[in-house]
């Protein structure tokens, strides 16, 4: 299959690599020329614009968007729209709001798949977990591409009509917030508590057979290993917040009490006190998403 990939940042380059490794062809574009050059070095064919991606794909257009959520998705779609027909397929693999995805699916001529992507840049070698919504024929048609980008056939699934994929991913992120908060609070108590504990050793021991072992806990172990027991200069500031906010908004609409996820979101918004748990969450976002680590300004 020949896949157009638009957006070649941390996640898009991985999409390119994995699709090429599965012997498909890739036409790659990014507004950053250096990112296109990198994709070309790795075996993709470069494009000079979004219309050029469409032209190079010919009659059967299969396109993966991996740009930041929000306006960049609409901007890319506006440029693609004149070239799209009903048998073309566009996938949005970013963290878009599911309401936006439903709107975009209604307004495009192509089949539009909303695809929640989990695993982050750190999960590149293993492959991602993909949560997909939209026309089922388009999901079936792109199964070889999903097999390549995901951990394999079990690493992706179709969850329903347009919006369902990004809805499942939104809730996934809410769970991610709460898990990070739970680990953060536990380690904060251990860091401040009765014993002089080696937190890396605690995380390592928990990761070997404990009920609470997980990838996030492995990232805690990595964080203590790389930053030190006191997290060094990792700041008490957790960026992001949009996907958790959407999860809480949806829970309020549905009247589902999600106090843990709300509590984790509130912790992000409140950064008045120096909290170990938030510093660990700041470091964990680097662990899974390669999001910039905020460091404390030592001059203050
Ligand atoms: N980093 C992570 O852990 C994860 C990110 N995501 C989502 O994947 C999407 C991409 O994330 P990253 O790769 O981390 O972001 P990134 O910031 O590393 O890369 C985004 C790329 O899109 C390009 N771009 C922006 N507007 C464009 C346009 N109109 N046309 C072409 N290229 C354009 C930028 O130049 C940049 O290279 C986002 O929606 C993000 O929320 C999803 C799961 C995990
Ligand atoms: O989707 C992700 C992980 O699953 C991304 O890393 C996302 O950016 C995390 O959300 P937030 O920026 O709200 O922390």
Cα separation of 31 and 12, whole Å? 13
Q: What domain range includes position 177?
A: 169-289
State ipTM: 0.98
Residues 40 and 180 in one domain: no
- Asked whether the predicted pLDDT for residue 271 surpasses 70, the reply is no
Q: Are the C-beta atoms of 92 and 163 separated by less than 8 Å?
A: no
Active site residue 169: yes
Residue 295 in domain = no
120 is in an annotated binding site: yes
- How far apart are the CA of 30 and the centre of ligand 2, in A? 21
Report the pLDDT value the prediction gives residue 258, as an integer from 0 to 100: 96
CATH code (residue 285): 1.10.1040.10
Which of 134, 162, 190 finishes a domain?
162
Residue 300 in domain = no
Active site residue 106: no
Q: Which range (27-36, 148-157, 232-241) has the least confidence?
A: 232-241
CATH code (residue 14): 3.40.50.720
In this structure, the number of other CB atoms found within 10 A of the CB of residue 272 comes to 6
Tell me which ligand sits closest to the C-alpha of residue 16: 1
Report the pLDDT value the prediction gives residue 300, as an integer from 0 to 100: 46
Atom 7 (ligand 2) nearest CA: 289
Residues 109 and 245 in one domain: no
Residues 113 and 178 in one domain: no
Tokens of 228: 């030190």
State the DSSP string of 21-65: HTT-EEEEE-SSHHHHHHHHHTTPEE-SSHHHHHHHHTTS-EEEE
240 is in an annotated binding site: no
Residues 154 and 7 in one domain: yes
The residue ranking higher by pLDDT, 115 or 298, is: 115
Verify whether ligand 2 is closer than 6 Å to residue 118 (CB atom). Answer: yes
Residues 273 and 124 in one domain: no
pLDDT for 190-226, tens place per residue?
999 899 999 999 999 999 999 999 999 999 999 999 9
Residues 183 and 135 in one domain: no
How buried is 226 (Cβ within 10 angstroms: 0-12 exposed, 13-18 middle, 19+ buried)?
middle
Cα separation of 270 and 108, whole Å? 40
Residues 10 and 158 in one domain: yes
- How far apart are the CA of 79 and the centre of ligand 2, in A? 27
Q: Write down the mean pLDDT value for the chain.
A: 95
Which of 111, 134, 162 finishes a domain?
162
Longest pairwise C-alpha distance within the chain: 68
Report the pLDDT value the prediction gives residue 79, as an integer from 0 to 100: 98
Selected catalytic residue, list 2, 81, 169, 294: 169
- How far apart are the CA of 6 and the centre of ligand 1, in A? 9
pLDDT for 31-67, tens place per residue?
999 999 999 999 999 999 999 999 999 999 999 999 9
The residue ranking higher by pLDDT, 114 or 193, is: 114
């Amino acid at each position: 299959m020949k896949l157009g990939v638009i957006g070649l940042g941390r996640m898009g380059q991985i999409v390119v690599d994995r699709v090429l490794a599965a012997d498909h062809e890739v036409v790659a574009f990014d507004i950053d020329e250096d990112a296109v050059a990198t994709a070309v070095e790795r075996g993709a064919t470069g494009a000079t614009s979004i219309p050029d991606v469409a032209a190079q794909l010919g009659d059967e257009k299969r396109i993966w968007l991996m740009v930041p959520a929000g306006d960049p998705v609409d901007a890319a779609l506006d440029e693609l729209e004149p070239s799209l027909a009903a048998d073309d397929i566009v996938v949005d693999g970013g963290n878009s709001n599911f309401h936006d995805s439903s709107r975009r699916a209604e307004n495009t001529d192509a089949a539009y798949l909303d695809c929640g992507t989990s695993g982050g840049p750190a999960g590149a070698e293993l492959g991602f977990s993909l949560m997909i919504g939209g026309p089922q024929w388009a999901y079936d048609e792109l199964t070889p591409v999903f097999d390549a980008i995901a951990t394999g056939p079990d690493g992706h699934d179709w969850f329903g009509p347009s919006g369902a994929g990004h809805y499942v991913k939104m809730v996934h992120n809410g769970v991610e917030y709460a898990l990070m908060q739970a680990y953060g609070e536990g380690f904060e108590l251990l860091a401040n508590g009765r014993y002089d504990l080696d937190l890396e050793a605690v995380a390592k021991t928990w990761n070997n057979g404990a009920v609470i072992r997980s990838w996030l806990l492995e990232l805690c172990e990595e964080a203590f290993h790389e930053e030190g027991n006191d997290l060094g200069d990792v700041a008490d500031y957790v960026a992001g917040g949009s996907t958790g906010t959407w999860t809480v908004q949806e829970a309020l609409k549905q009247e589902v009490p999600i106090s843990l996820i709300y509590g984790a979101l509130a912790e992000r918004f409140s950064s008045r006190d120096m909290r170990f748990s938030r510093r660990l969450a700041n470091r964990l976002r680097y662990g899974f998403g390669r999001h910039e680590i905020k460091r404390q300004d030592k001059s203050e």
